[in-house]
Amino acid sequence: MPTFVQILDFIGTFAFAISGIRLASAKRFDWFGAYVVGFVTAIGGGTIRDLLLDVTPGWMTDPIYLICTGLALLWVILFGKHLIHLNNTFFIFDSIGLALFTVVGVGKSIALGYPFWVAIIMGSITGAAGGVIRDVFINEIPLIFRKEIYAMACVVGGTFYWICYLLGMEAFVCQIVGGVTVFVTRILAVKYRICLPILSGNEEEQEM
C-alpha cells in the first residue's frame, strides 16, 4: 500500500510532468522530446538539490517517476484537446506538487544537518528548478522570474516549516504547516493577482 505522502508525490510528479509535456507540445516537440521535458520538469528540481547535497537523486532508486511521466504523456496524447477544461484541476495539482516538493526538500536538508537558509533554498530549488530547466529547454525566459508568486511561495512555506521546527514541533507538524503555507500562498497569489514589483532601475541593456 502506498502511503499518503507517496500518493501526494505521485500527484505532484504527474502534474509537473503534464506541465512540461504541454509546453513541449506547444513548441511541436515529438513524443520523445515531450517525454524528456516532462520528466525533467518533474525530477529536475530534486536532482539539482540532491547533486548539491551530494546524495543519489531519488529517481535513480525508484522507477515510479519514469512510469508517472509515461502516464502523463499518454494522458496528453489521448486527452490533449480536452485538457483546457481541466486547467483549474491541474492548477490545484500543480500547487499540491509545489507544496509537497518544497516540504520534501526542506526536510531532507534539515535531516542532513544543514542550516535553515540552506534548507529553505533547497526547498525552493526542489519546487521550482524543474520548471526553470523546462523553460530553458523550450527556449523561453523562465516563467518564475517574471510572473506571479511561485518560487516565493516555496520561500514563505520553507520559512514557516523552519519556524515550526525551531519551536520544537514534531516533524509531521512542520511538514503540514510548511506545505499548507506553500499551497495557500500560491492559491491566494493567483486568485488576487499578487505580484512582486518589477525591477526597472535601468532601461538599456548594459552588460558588464
Other beta carbons within 10 Å of 116? 17
Amino acid residing at 69: T
Nearer to a second copy, 26 or 168 (CB): 26
Please report how close the Cβ of residue 173 comes to a second copy at its closest, in angstroms. 26
Nearer to a second copy, 38 or 179 (CB): 38
Amino acid residing at 41: T
Please report how close the Cβ of residue 141 comes to a second copy at its closest, in angstroms. 5
Q: DSSP string spanning 93-144?
A: HHHHHHHHHHHHHHHHHHHTT--HHHHHHHHHHHHHHHHHHHHHHTTS--GG
Nearer to a second copy, 2 or 80 (CB): 80
Please report how close the Cβ of residue 172 comes to a second copy at its closest, in angstroms. 26
Counting Cβ atoms within 10 Å, is residue 60 exposed (0-12), middle (13-18) or buried (19+)?
exposed
Please report how close the Cβ of residue 171 comes to a second copy at its closest, in angstroms. 22
CA angle 33, 38, 39 (to 5 degrees): 100
Nearer to a second copy, 60 or 171 (CB): 60
